């Protein structure tokens, strides 16, 4: 794996990431795989979990992270992303970029001589999806479960489809008409599913949550979608994860949300704080999975 721009980049090592993340979670300070290594973190979009987890990850791995908001770089004054990539990659050992456009991350990687990690784009959020698969396995002890994703088929949903299909996990996306995930990614996930044995379904039928093992949702109005807020709230209101929906799932189903959450919109406070919610463990696991990704991309496992 040269870069992590899409979950597809992990198809040959996804289980290695899961295994290493498990080791790192058990011994957070015991792996100094990135001694004297530096990671540039470029942010076009605001962040809580991505910034903190990557920064702490580099610290625990004995490396160093640089927080670089776009507004403080020449990118913010119009420098071509190609030029920024060529320069920054001469200074550091790796780059994590959280961008508006997926094409910008691709362009950055094509002009970087160091590994580039997609920290979020409008198309994918691979670090989140890999974390979600890891979290599900931690709770269910198997990948052979059924995951239902409710609501907007956004970047997180896209990456989840790819990750689930790679590990053999069944996934049903339940979205209103017009809010389904990217068709190209759905096609790719179905190709992976043919090899892994998973089942991928896209539906508008809320009742398809019946009997599932994992209920997942995300915000209805993502960063960049604010101008569509009223329309989105109207179209997605029937796809809220609430007690009625949860009661249709397996009685041992877990509830997931990648955060930040708009309580009372895509998920109720009652469900989010229920005993079936694993949202806080899910958030913590960003740290452990990203440490595994960083170790495999920027250094060697010396633990």
Residue 90 annotated in active site: no
Q: Which residues contact 161 (CB under 8 A, 6 or more apart)?
A: 171, 173, 181, 185, 186, 189, 200
Residue 98 annotated in active site: yes
Tell me the two tokens of residue 192: 């992976």
- Which entry of 49, 102, 125, 146 is annotated as an active-site residue? 125
- Which entry of 9, 60, 218, 240 is annotated as an active-site residue? 218
> Rounded distance, CA 274 to CA 8, Å?
33
- Which entry of 51, 98, 102, 288 is annotated as an active-site residue? 98
Rg (CA), the chain: 19
Residue 77 annotated in active site: no
Q: Write the CA distances from 23 to 60, 117, 156, 164, 284, integer angstroms.
A: 13, 21, 25, 21, 15
43, 68 Cβ separation under 8 angstroms: yes
Residue 258 annotated in active site: yes
Burial class (CB within 10 angstroms; exposed 0-12, middle 13-18, buried 19+) of 56: middle
3-state helix, strand, coil in the chain (%, to 5): 50, 15, 35
Residue 225 annotated in active site: no
Q: Which residues contact 278 (CB under 8 A, 6 or more apart)?
A: 135, 139, 254, 255, 256
Q: Write the CA distances from 96 to 57, 102, 118, 123, integer angstroms.
A: 12, 13, 6, 16
Q: Write the CA distances from 65 to 75, 94, 138, 164, integer angstroms.
A: 19, 10, 28, 30
Q: Write the CA distances from 232 to 181, 264, 271, 297, 303, integer angstroms.
A: 15, 14, 21, 38, 47
- Which entry of 93, 152, 188, 258 is annotated as an active-site residue? 258
Q: Note the Cα 122 to chain centre separation in Å.
A: 12
Tell me the two tokens of residue 29: 């300070």
- Which entry of 9, 49, 51, 128 is annotated as an active-site residue? 128
> Rounded distance, CA 226 to CA 274, Å?
29
- Which entry of 182, 286, 288, 290 is annotated as an active-site residue? 286
So which residues are the catalytic ones? 98, 125, 128, 218, 258, 286
């Amino acid at each position: 794996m040269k870069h992590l721009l899409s979950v597809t980049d992990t198809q040959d090592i996804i289980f290695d990431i899961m295994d290493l993340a498990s080791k790192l979670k058990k011994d957070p300070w015991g792996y100094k795989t990135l001694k004297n290594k530096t990671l540039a973190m470029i942010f076009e979009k605001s962040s809580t979990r991505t910034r903190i987890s990557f920064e702490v990850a580099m610290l625990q791995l004995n490396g160093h992270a640089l927080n670089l908001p776009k507004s403080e770089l020449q990118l913010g004054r119009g420098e071509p992303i190609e030029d920024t990539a060529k320069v920054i990659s001469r200074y550091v050992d790796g780059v994590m970029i959280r961008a508006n456009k997926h094409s910008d991350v691709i362009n950055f990687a094509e002009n970087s001589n160091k590994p580039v990690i997609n920290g979020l784009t409008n198309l994918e959020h691979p670090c989140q999806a890999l974390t979600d698969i890891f979290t599900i396995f931690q709770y269910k002890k198997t990948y052979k479960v059924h995951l239902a994703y409710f609501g907007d088929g956004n970047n997180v949903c896209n990456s989840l489809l790819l990750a689930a299909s790679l590990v053999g996990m069944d996934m049903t996306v339940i979205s209103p008409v017009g809010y389904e995930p990217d068709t190209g990614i759905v096609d790719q996930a179905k190709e992976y599913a043919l090899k892994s044995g998973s089942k991928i379904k896209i539906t508008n039928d809320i009742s398809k949550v019946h009997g599932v093992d994992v209920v997942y949702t995300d915000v209805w109005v993502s960063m960049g979608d604010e101008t569509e807020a009223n329309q989105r709230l109207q179209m997605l209101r029937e796809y809220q994860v609430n007690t009625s929906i949860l009661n249709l799932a397996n009685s041992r189903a877990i509830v997931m949300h990648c955060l930040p959450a708009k309580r009372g919109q895509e998920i109720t406070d009652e469900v989010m704080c229920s005993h079936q919610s694993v949202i806080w463990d899910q958030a913590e696991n960003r740290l452990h999975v990203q440490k595994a990704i960083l170790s495999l991309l920027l250094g060697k496992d010396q633990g």
